[in-house]
Amino acid sequence: MANEYRGSSKYIASRELMEIVNVAIALGKPLLIKGEPGTGKTLLAHSIAEALNKRLIVWNIKSTTKAKDGLYVYDTVQRLNDARFGDKDISDIRQYIKLGKLGQAFLSEEQVVLLIDEIDKADIEFPNDLLHELDEMSFYIPELNEEIKAKHRPIVVITSNAEKELPDAFLRRCIFHYIEFPSPEMMEEIVKVHFPDIEERLIREAIKKFYWIREVDGLKKKPSTSELLDWIKALSIGGIDPEKISKGIPFLGTLLKNEQDTQRLERFIMNQQGSYGMRRRFI
Amino acid sequence: MFTGFFFKLREKGVPVTITEWLSFVEALYRGLFKSSLNHLYYVGRAFLVKSEAYYDMFDLAFQEYFGGVKTEDIELEKVLKWLDDPRNKLPALSPEEIEEFRRKMEELQKSVNMEELLRQFRERLAEQKERHDGGNKWIGTGGRSPFGAFGYHPGGIRVGGESWMQSAVKVAGERKYRNYRNDLILDVRQIKLALKRLRELKREGAEELDLEGTVDKTAKEGGEIELVYTRSRENSIRLILIMDAGGSMLPYTELCERLFSAASQMEHFKEFRHYYFHNCIYQDVFEDIANYKRVPTEKLFINFHGGYKVIIVGDARMAYSELFDINGCIDYFYTNDKPGIEWLKRIREHFPYSVWLNPTPKTFWNHVTVNAIRQIFPMFELTLDGLKEAVSALTSKSKQIAN
């Protein structure tokens, strides 16, 4: 199959995820991706576009985004302004209709990948307003009395951070996958894709420490993949000896971005070292 | 094809719908599944399960149906099965026996070492190979061994079944386990999610340009631009949370705390108030339970109009007199000239949008005071599902009748 997704050079996808992506493409169903921050939800869409050599259209959802914004916007204010002050011909409404991201994806001459990013940021009802459009891949513009129909069904990838619950009717129409946090082995592969030249021992020590920090109880924000990558980069540029990583945590600021978390980790280390830590302070 | 699997999933509690099943079957027919079980597992899951909370149940159903994937956590499950239908339920105890039982229980509670007991439990679980009823050593029903269900050992570990006298030192049983599996233990974030649905948007916010109104008005004025403003929409829900802080609520303190912190952290409501009561509501509620800072219940009716939504949290389980009698309050220093039930009725009358959340599971609700309160307030379990139902009951337009 020419249209088969097998991951891309910069993105390591698990076997099951690849299969699911392929089935979603074959059936033309939207793919809903959930998972911890930093598990590469958004990157997946980029990777699919890259691997299948298709254009990517990104629709970033904000708390104020309305479903209609994705279809088209009728710029009435501009038209009003032109009618009042301009000397343009305003009889053609078409020039004031601007297609949104979904509309662009529908009208594209070739199949595109449409990423609807962080759909849970919008209002609770937002996904419901898109049901018909995603099902039929068409919508109606009353101002023009025109039906916009997808020339090629776009590959739709939707990501969610689970900040709000998504409506059942919407979920029923999607194919769902929860990306788990990568295992240390997979993480090693991911890191190597990004930094092929960095010394293996450094990577291994860093990953070990990274998972250890993730285990610490009560961190407000656990460090995620992107933080690990930043950290390893910092370690490598700073020329840190892998020995040092197993003993302490240089450049902790790249991993923990929160003052409280840093203190929490320090306290945790103190407790673990127990009397030894005390002794070291007194000597 | 595999229709049995569909029912197995439903049986395990995965909310699969027919639409989802059909698209799964369609994919099957179109040959999108390479004929491997692994493939069927992962891709099938993507079709049929829409939340990671149900992954575990999907696993169990898949395991039972296809018998392929093996997991380790099946031990307790097996034990629960043995205990499922006790062959010999116990005869009812006489009052003297109950008294003796209670005495024995108190003794034992002092002497029993929980850790030792748990260790023995695990040991015996490992030794035991089959179902066991009666007797005093093995895990089973109706016996005097410290482990099992429907039995007489006062300080034992109860495995599944209902606790008759709340005697088990630790409930290692069904309810807790199932909750955990279904991910139904509520955390603050989940409660916030559920409460977000509690909203009524009204145009009460800041002023903003009303585009449609402006266009309309301008057109009517013949092209003379006329700006129209309107107020932005804002949630107009005002919520009052009234919580039971009585002794029987002690096991649920943490759960109630989570509900409270979720509701108070949310900047979602127009107004949020909270009060406490002790077992039942009388002429006062408390602003601060530790200091017994009272507010007359009457004040609630004066200060807050009937549009306020009221959530009462409590186990609704109390002595008969506490609900139905004058001066029935459990606190000796407190007198009430009207029985508690009158006050509850008045609250319901004044606040038609009110619900009762009960942290005890539904199977425990068959109790005289619980039933009486259910006649007044619609009652829901304090679980994720229950909370969702309660929220939709609170927001439904028509005044609901208590169930």
Is the pLDDT reported for residue B140 higher than 70?
A: no
Tell me the mean pLDDT in the region B219-236.
Answer: 79
pLDDT of B36: 63
**Residue of chain B minimizing CA distance to A79:** B215
The pLDDT, as a whole number, for residue A155 is 92
CB contact under 8 A, A84 and B225: yes
Residue B319 has pLDDT above 60, yes or no: yes
pLDDT at A55: 93
Stronger pLDDT, B324 or B35, i.e. the higher one: B324
CA dist B115 and A168 (Å) reads: 44
Maximum Cα interatomic distance, chain B, rounded to a whole number of Å: 94
Q: Is the pLDDT of residue B330 over 80?
A: no
B49 touches chain A (CB under 8 A): yes
Least reliable range by pLDDT among A9-23, A75-89, A244-258, B93-107: B93-107
Mean pLDDT of all residues in A112-123? 89
Output the pLDDT for position B289: 66
Mean pLDDT for A269-276 is 62
Residue B396 host element (H or E): none
Hey, are the CB atoms on B225 and A177 less than 8 Å from each other? no
State the best of A36, A96, A175 to mutate against chain B, taking most chain B CBs within 10 Å.
Answer: A175
Q: Do A178 and B30 touch (CB under 8 A)?
A: no
Contacts of B42 in chain A (CB under 8 A): 15-16, 19-20
The two structure tokens encoding residue A121? 């940021």
The pLDDT of residue B118 is 57
B39 touches A: beta carbon within 8 Å: yes
Better-scored residue on pLDDT, B246 or A223: A223
Distance CA B140, CA B143 (A): 7
The complex scores an ipTM of 0.75
Closest Cβ–Cβ partner in B20, B23, B38 for A27: B23
Of the candidate ranges B73-87, B269-283, B332-346, the one whose mean pLDDT is the lowest? B73-87
CA distances from A44 to A80, A93, A247, A253, B336 (A): 42, 38, 35, 27, 65
Segment A55-65 shows an average pLDDT of 90
Residues of A whose CB is below 8 A from B43: 16, 19-20, 23
Yes or no, beta carbons of B46 and A34 under 8 Å apart:
no
**A196-200, B126-130, B301-305: least confident range:** B126-130
Instruction: Report CB contact under 8 Å: B23, A29.
Output: yes
Tell me which chain A residue has its CA closest to the CA of residue B233: A64
Out of B17, B52, B197, name the one closest to residue A178 (CB): B52
Distance separating alpha carbons of residues B264 and B268, to the nearest angstrom: 9
Would you call A174 and B50 a contact, using CB atoms and an 8 Å cutoff? yes
Can you list the pairs that B261-266 forms with residues at least 24 positions away whose Cβ atoms lie under 8 Å?
Answer: B261/B188, B262/B188, B262/B189, B262/B191, B262/B192, B262/B195, B263/B191, B263/B195, B263/B239, B265/B188, B265/B192, B266/B192, B266/B195, B266/B196
- What's the pLDDT tens digit per position in B47-71? 888 877 777 777 777 777 776 444 4
Q: Which of residues 157-196 of B touch A (CB under 8 A)?
A: 193-194, 196
- CA angle, B232 then B235 then B241, to 5°: 160
pLDDT greater than 90 at residue A239: no
Range list of β-strands (E), B91-200:
140-141, 147-149, 157-158, 170-171
Nearest to A19 among B20, B39, B193 (CB): B39
Over residues A79-95, the mean pLDDT reads 80
Please report residues of A whose CB lies closer than 8 A to that of B38: 16
Report CB contact under 8 Å: B225, A80: yes
Closest CA to A101 of A132, A136, A139, A135: A139
Which of A3, A4, A5, A20 should be substituted to probe chain B, the one whose Cβ sees the most B Cβ atoms within 10 Å? Answer: A20
Q: How confident is the model at residue B97 (pLDDT cuts 50, 70, 90)?
A: low
Q: Nearest residue of B to residue A164 by CA position?
A: B193
What does the pLDDT average to over B126-143?
48
Q: Which positions in chain B touch A163 (Cβ < 8 Å)? A: 193
pLDDT at residue B181 greater than cutoff 50: no
Inter-chain residue contact B46 with A165, CB threshold 8 Å: no
**Strands (DSSP E) along B289-363, which ranges?**
293-296, 309-313, 354-358
Confidence bin at B144 (pLDDT 50/70/90)? very low
Residue B38 has pLDDT above 90, yes or no: no
Of A23, A171, A173, the CB nearest to B27: A23
Task: For residue A264, give the amino acid letter.
Answer: R
Judged by CB atoms closer than 8 Å, whether chains meet at A34 and B55 is answered as no
**Residue B197 and residue A124: Cβ atoms within 8 Å?**
yes
Q: Which residues of B touch A172 (CB under 8 A)?
A: 17, 19-20, 50
Say if CB A166 and CB A119 are below 8 A apart. yes
| Contact flag B52-A16 (C-beta cutoff 8 Å) | no
Q: Do B43 and A16 touch (CB under 8 A)?
A: yes
In chain B, residues with a C-beta closer than 8 Å to the C-beta of A176 are 46, 49-51
**Mean pLDDT over each residue of chain A, to the nearest integer:** 83
SS3 B220: helix
- At B3-19, the pLDDT tens digits run 888 888 888 778 888 88
**Where does the pLDDT of residue B178 fall: very low under 50, low under 70, confident under 90, or very high at 90 and above?**
very low
Please indicate if any CB of chain A lies within 8 Å of the CB of B26.
yes
Q: Of A211, A120, A215, whose CA–CA distance to A170 is shortest?
A: A120
Phi, psi of A175 (to 5 degrees): -100, 135
A34 and B52 in contact by Cβ < 8 A?
A: yes
Share of chain B above pLDDT 90, in %: 5
Mean pLDDT of chain B: 71
**Contact flag B42-A172 (C-beta cutoff 8 Å):** no
Report pLDDT digits (tens) over A166-188: 888 888 889 998 887 888 888 88
Query: What pLDDT, on a 0 to 100 scale, did the predictor assign at position B121?
Result: 57
**Which residues in A lie closer than 8 A to residue B201 (C-beta atoms)?**
none
User: Which chain B residues are Cβ-neighbours of A96 within 8 angstroms?
Assistant: none
A contact test, residue of B16, B23, B35, B43 with most A CBs within 10 A: B43
pLDDT of residue B134: 45
Given A77, A84, A176, which is nearest B46 (Cβ)?
A176
Instruction: Please give, rounded to a whole number of angstroms, the shortest distance from the CA of A200 to a CA of chain B.
Output: 32
